[in-house]
Amino acid sequence: GAVVSQHPSRVICKSGTSVKIECRSLDFQATTMFWYRQFPKQSLMLMATSNEGSKATYEQGVEKDKFLINHASLTLSTLTVTSAHPEDSSFYICSASLQGAITEAFFGQGTRLTVV
């Protein structure tokens, strides 16, 4: 199956700094990428949907200026958590798919962000 690589797998940053998470589709061109946040022992909450070359669509309640998403190419999307605070600590997962295609989205392995 198709592979989605997410980097880094773990990151610790200081409060007030920004951290960037990368999501790459390794062997296919991803028209659409999704970013999720998962709190401990909870389900995945969709944060935003990004389409290559256009602005991301954020879910209600997600701060656009806090979570910057860029999808500049068909194989790379990035999520930048700006001015991170301890409450931003979470598990972030990306997925990638060919929009409209009858295939499943492929998920990255996730990034554990800890803000200290």
Partner 1 sequence: AQSVTQPDIHITVSEGASLELRCNYSYGATPYLFWYVQSPGQGLQLLLKYFSGDTLVQGIKGFEAEFKRSQSSFNLRKPSVHWSDAAEYFCAVRLNSGTYKYIFGTGTRLKVLA
Beta bridge partner(s), residue 13: 115
87 vs 114: CA distance, rounded Å: 9
- The values of phi and psi at residue 42, to 5°, are -125, 175
Q: Which of residues 18-37 bind partner 1 (CB under 8 A)?
A: 32, 34
Q: Residue 109 is inside which H or E element, if any?
A: none
For 55, the enclosing helix (H) or strand (E) is: none
**Pick from 57, 70, 82, 114: which binds partner 1 (CB under 8 A)?**
57
| Residue 61 binds partner 1, judged by CB under 8 A | no
Output 55 or 83, the one with its CB closest to partner 1.
Answer: 55
The answer to whether 77 contacts partner 1 (rule: CB under 8 A) is: no
- Min dist. Cβ of residue 34 to partner 1 (A): 6
C-beta of 50 vs 78, nearer to partner 1:
50
